[in-house]
């Protein structure tokens, strides 16, 4: 059987991504997600914090103030303290520095996947 890859990928993009399994890899400070379509995404917490979708961090990223940039790269800001599910569509990460207003939807987490397949797809 020949699979039309382009067609398959189009379908995948239209389907909301759902995780089958999520693992907090404390040793390497990464968050691993295995999706329902068997795809695997491993995201370092540093990258997750950098992409924090809350209004505050978005504003901070858009601002060019170098001092704010420094505070964002403080070591405790990329240490996760707690991860909790939000409904059936997202997770919330509470960081060691107390920041916890970012809600990471599964859709967004899947988009952050930086594996070769996603980068080139
Ligand atoms: Zn934030
Ligand atoms: Zn990927």
| pLDDT of 15 strictly over 90 | no
Ligand nearest the Cα atom of residue 102: 1
Residue 44 CA, ligand 1 centroid: distance in Å: 16
- Phi, psi (5° rounding) for residue 7? -65, -45
Q: What is the pLDDT of residues 78-114, one digit of tens each?
A: 889 999 999 989 999 999 999 999 999 999 999 999 9
Residue 117 CA, ligand 2 centroid: distance in Å: 5
Ligand nearest the Cα atom of residue 61: 1
- CATH fold, domain 16-120, is NE0471 N-terminal domain-like (3.30.2020)
Mean pLDDT, rounded, for 30-57 = 95
Going from N- to C-terminal start, the domains of the chain cover 16-120
Residue 52 CA, ligand 1 centroid: distance in Å: 5
- Asked whether the beta carbons of 109 and 92 are under 8 A apart, the reply is no
Q: How far apart are the first and last CA of the chain?
A: 22
pTM check: above 0.85: no
Cα–chain center distance at 72 = 17
Q: What is the pLDDT of residues 64-75, one digit of tens each?
A: 666 655 555 566
């Amino acid at each position: 059987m020949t699979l039309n890859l382009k067609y398959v990928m189009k379908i995948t993009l239209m389907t909301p991504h759902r995780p089958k399994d999520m693992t907090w890899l404390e040793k390497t400070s990464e968050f691993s997600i295995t999706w329902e379509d068997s795809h695997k995404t491993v995201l370092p917490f540093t990258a997750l914090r950098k992409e924090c979708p809350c209004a505050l961090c978005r504003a901070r990223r858009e601002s060019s103030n170098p001092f704010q940039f420094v505070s964002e790269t403080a070591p405790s800001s990329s240490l996760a303290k707690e991860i909790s599910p939000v409904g059936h569509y997202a997770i919330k990460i509470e960081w060691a520095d107390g920041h916890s207003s970012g809600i990471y939807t599964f859709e967004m987490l899947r988009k952050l996947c930086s594996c070769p397949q996603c980068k080139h797809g």
